[in-house]
Chain A
Amino acid sequence: DAGVIQSPRHEVTEMGQEVTLRCKPISGHDYLFWYRQTMMRGLELLIYFNNNVPIDDSGMPEDRFSAKMPNASFSTLKIQPSEPRDSAVYFCASSLDRNIQYFGAGTRLSVL
């Protein structure tokens, strides 16, 4: 298996633009997690899905953030409109059970 695949690896956009981050989890994994990592706040869980259903989105910063998982092999995290404070590395991770999580390489987002 290729592991968790995220795209794009880098995204530079201007404030106010819509940003869509994509994730393909490991086949067969039931859980999918979206994290945000910054120097100031560390690694924060934004939302996670179980069997394509959002379970906990309490970490989503505000209504500008939304996440979907239309099927077991694809998820998106959307920011609309984007702001400079959204600049961070966004990670997707998947898990077969509640124990070990497998992370993608991340998307480095810069909002100018």
Chain B
Amino acid sequence: SQQGEEDPQALSIQEGENATMNCSYKTSINNLQWYRQNSGRGLVHLILIRSNEREKHSGRLRVTLDTSKKSSSLLITASRAADTASYFCATDTNAGNMLTFGGGTRLMVKP
């Protein structure tokens, strides 16, 4: 099974609203990353949070990490239609130099 599981699988909101996506994982991590994928494109790195960090901000993005619950959340504030995309969490564990990606959350922001 996948290391990271996003919740919800799909989310539809109005422009200007906030969007929250969650990610749960199973094993200890070095860091957790969030990526965005626009339709027909490759994944783009958004933000990285290390295991000893609890919260991180980047522009309209806010990521939290709770290692005791093995979960992370991605908050996009004041969403825009251009935020419509799939969002993936990826965990970096001690199992080699690779990331394990979750199944993604499909976000639709309606104008």
Contacts and interface: CB of A to CB of B under 8 A. Distances in A.
B101 A42 contact: yes
Contacts of A31: 97
Contacts of A93: 42-43
Contact of B41 (A55, A98, A99, A106): A106
Nearest to B104: A42
A49 to B, nearest CB: 10
A26 to B, nearest CB: 12
Interface in B1-33: 2, 30-31, 33
A74 interface: no
Given A48-B98, A50-B97, A56-B98, A103 B43 contact: yes
B101 A55 contact: no
A4 B42 contact: yes
Contacts of A104: 42
B33 A100 contact: yes
A99 B92 contact: yes
Contacts of B100: 45
14 contacts: A4-B42, A42-B103, A42-B104, A43-B43, A43-B104, A45-B98, A55-B97, A91-B42, A93-B43, A98-B30, A98-B97, A101-B99, A102-B45, A103-B44
Interface of A: 4, 31, 33, 42-43, 45, 48, 50, 55-56, 91, 93, 95, 98-106
